[in-house]
Structure 1
Amino acid sequence: MQRVLIAGLGDTGVLTAIKLARHFEVTGISAKPGLLSGQELGVRIARPQEWARDYWTGFERFRGLDRVRTVHGTLAGLDLADRTVRVEAADSVRHEPYDILVISTGVSNGFWRRPHWQTAADIDADLHAVHRRLAAAETIAVIGGGAAAVSAAGNLAAALPGAAVGLYYPGDHALPQHHRRVWRRIEGRLRAHGVGLHPGHRAVLPETHDEITGDPVHWSTGQPAVHADAVIWAVGRVRPNTGWLPAELLDDGGFVRVTAQLQVPGHPEVFAIGDVAATDPLRASARSRADGLLARNIRAHAAGKPLRDYTPPKARWGSVLGAQPDGLEVFAPSGQVFRLPAWSVRKVLQPWIVRRGIYRGVRSG
């Protein structure tokens, strides 16, 4: 049986591993002891216990990973000739062999998406330390105009009504990668929660923008500096987690170059998916369920059959604010909104569609 090594067990890596486990000998490498999702930043920092219930899951809880060997370590190198990956664990170094390699290491982005090695206790401590820091703040400034920034501002304002929350973004409106209808609807919800909206503010990034800071925020667009007890930098300055890879596999931005079939050019046994893969300007394969196509292409490659092309979506879609007490709003690429009542999120969406349908069974934690 051929060996598939999945480098990175985030959302997309876990889904790919589950789909391949019955067809290959699968090993997954992760710096975390479970799936620590990068989704729903706003819920994560505003309601960490609720977020952890749905987005922080030990690997042992996934029934679909029962056939997958997981290695808790950090990726340190790739030998394309020998087809081995160097992995540094807490007290050892090992070289993991593969016949087929999947690169799904994602990106680093702010304080909530980092590739460093952590234990479960470390992760729990980080989640609650961030929330305590924000809950103690009387003023919070959120810098950025993307979905992460909008979600952070909206959820914090709803969870911390005593705090003054401001959202600062460089354009005339936030969510520039979504359909304009999405911002018009979300704008109303932010105003209803008391979020101060400040368009036309482009921040001068400090070296500490990967942390929650308390220093004044300065603007290259000329406005007076803003002072806040806590400043959240959600400016989209993502960095691909590819320092362990040979430069020949990467584009000028450090992302993994791929063909339309999600293969690395010149190395048909190496595939890439998710935020780390240079599939399209939005790098949307992590959010458009390309794991199914990838798994099919890997099986086809192993059997010598034709592979299918990945077609990325042209616009962002999905939730912006995440699940709220009154339900969940999901936006189509056209900007059309679909509302799910709160009871259906807890009793249908999470247990049946997500845990049982998408992840093929998740044990109680």
Structure 2
Amino acid sequence: MTAPMPHVVIVGGGFAGLWATRALASAPVRITLLDRGNHHLFQPLLYQVATAGLSAPDIAAPLRHILRGQKNVEVRMATVARIDAAGKRVELEDGSAIAFDFLLLASGATHAYFGNDHWAAHAPGLKTLDDALDLRRKLLLAFERAEAADDPAEREAWLSFAVVGGGPTGVELAGTLAEIARHTLKDEFRNIDPAQARVRLVEAGPRVLSSFPEDLSEKARRQLEKLGVEVATGTPVADITAEGYRLGETFVPAKTVVWAAGVAASPLGRTLGVELDRAGRVPVLPDLTVPGHPDLFVAGDLASLQQDGKPVPGVAPAAKQMGRHVAQSIRARLSGRTTTPFVYRDYGNLATIGRMAAVVDFGRLKLSGLLAWWFWLTAHVFFLIGFRNRLVVLLNWFWAYWSYQRAARIILGDDDRSDTK
């Protein structure tokens, strides 16, 4: 009688989960890929959906379609409730459970408000397509509300935007918002001048893009200010309400605040019964396994691993590399070989600021301005999933470059309902 093939369960269809799944295509295993959504999301371009530059299908693709030719994988759209590490079972919210021989937990991260979870209602974050569509609606409606407002103070509050967090997402959002106000919406309103909108980027630390070298960080700041963004550093936000935010002792009226300041690891890490780090991530061994559980791997934003005295960053390239390494480790275990330590290869950092403005850090090679922007654009198109997505995104960007127009500016839903498309 033929022994059943080992069962690999992968939780999360993001970069780590999908890259591990594809790397196991020819392995003698059966794979179950679990995800709450039915799609893989190219998260680095999520802000483009939120700012009406791209539509949701441009940066996402159905997991079943991506994996349609891989016969050893079954895709299931399901929400995982907890991991029974000792019993080697994944328990789902519907009450069912799936047994595994190997598990990869790659369920990503969510928003973190540093103990101020009530801010979430007034300062949405950006992690999913639903977040992006809700934020797009909120941003576009702000200009509509300002156009209809009779009171000057109310109009000014609607035209005041704040992005909290000076990392790549915050910088990209702030720069794009300034471009929308000053170029995209030009001549479209009768009672307001969108170019008078106030866009402020708030960073608690001393500089924006703190993961970049200081000279590139300063260039990014200057490029943001050239676009019309106010950059406020060195003072954390003290409070956020429906009417605005408090910076130090000063309250700033603003109807639109966007959160890009922090992330917390997926709550599934808490179900493993191991000690977590301060961000809720799972400390893993060098081969990405959980201590005491050699058949349980953690990768992506949920994994906490030090390399050369520094944490492996929660970025897409690291997640992809982790996913591939987990697949190699599973293959090694099946062949009776020992696993090897994961080694993160840092290929550099990229961040776009706006039209013809970006910064690129490749160690000795540092770029900013137009050349960096073209490099950023080329890299992101190349890494998108599928030819159709690459072509559509490229065409949309070329159109936006020449016309300043953004193709996805349709507002859907009513005041009590988010976008549905």
TM-score range, shorter chain: 0.7 to 0.9
Partner of 2:351: 320
Normalising by the residue count of structure 2, what TM-score does the alignment of the two structures yield? 0.70
Q: For the residues of structure 1 that align with 2:301 and 2:58, how far apart are their CA atoms?
A: 21
Partner of 1:76: 81
Question: Residue 46 of structure 1: CA displacement?
Answer: 1.2
2:297 corresponds, among 271, 276, 288, to 271
Q: For the residues of structure 2 that align with 1:201 and 1:225, how far apart are their CA atoms?
A: 13
Partner of 2:332: 300
Give, as a single letter, the amino acid of the residue that structure 1 aligns with 2:362: A
- CA deviation vs aligned residue, 1:160-199 (integer Å, no higher than 9, x gap): 3223211111233111122223312322321221101112
Aligned pair in 2 of structure 1 residues 344, 287: CA closer, same or farther (>3 Å)?
closer
Q: For the residues of structure 2 that align with 1:204 and 1:270, how far apart are their CA atoms?
A: 40
- In the alignment, structure 1 segments of 5+ residues that lack a partner are 115-122, 207-212
Aligned pair in 2 of structure 1 residues 284, 176: CA closer, same or farther (>3 Å)?
same
Partner of 1:217: 245
Partner secondary structure for residue 26 of structure 2: coil
Partner secondary structure for residue 160 of structure 1: helix
Q: Which has the higher helix share?
A: 2
1:171 corresponds, among 198, 205, 222, to 205
Question: Residue 64 of structure 1: CA displacement?
Answer: 6.7
Question: Residue 205 of structure 1: CA displacement?
Answer: 4.7
1:284 aligns with 2:313: yes
1:38 aligns with 2:40: no
Normalising by the residue count of structure 1, what TM-score does the alignment of the two structures yield? 0.80
Aligned pair in 2 of structure 1 residues 225, 313: CA closer, same or farther (>3 Å)?
farther
The alignment yields a C-alpha RMSD, in angstroms, of: 3.3
Counterparts of residues 1-365 of structure 1 (less than 5 Å): 1-23=5-27, 24-47=29-52, 49-50=54-55, 52-63=56-67, 66-67=70-71, 68-88=73-93, 92-109=94-111, 111-113=125-127, 123=129, 127-137=132-142, 138-161=159-182, 162=194, 163-206=197-240, 214-219=242-247, 222-242=248-268, 245-248=271-274, 250-251=276-277, 253-280=279-306, 282-284=311-313, 286-288=316-318, 289-290=320-321, 291-312=323-344, 317-321=348-352, 326=356, 330-334=360-364, 336-337=366-367, 339=371, 345=377, 350=381, 354-355=384-385
- CA deviation vs aligned residue, 1:177-227 (integer Å, no higher than 9, x gap): 222233123223212211011122211255xxxxxx6332123xx341112
- CA deviation vs aligned residue, 1:227-280 (integer Å, no higher than 9, x gap): 212011211142433266232263454211211111111111011111100113
Question: Contact (CA 8 Å) 2:220, 2:359: kept in 1 or not?
Answer: no
Question: Residue 35 of structure 1: CA displacement?
Answer: 1.2
Q: For the residues of structure 1 that align with 2:391 and 2:102, how far apart are their CA atoms?
A: 29
Question: Residue 293 of structure 1: CA displacement?
Answer: 2.2
Q: How many residues align?
A: 337
Q: For the residues of structure 2 that align with 1:363 and 1:103, how far apart are their CA atoms?
A: 32
- In the alignment, structure 2 segments of 5+ residues that lack a partner are 112-123, 143-158, 183-193, 394-421
Range with greater deviation from structure 2 (263-272 or 58-67): 58-67
Partner secondary structure for residue 355 of structure 1: coil
Question: Contact (CA 8 Å) 2:359, 2:367: kept in 1 or not?
Answer: yes
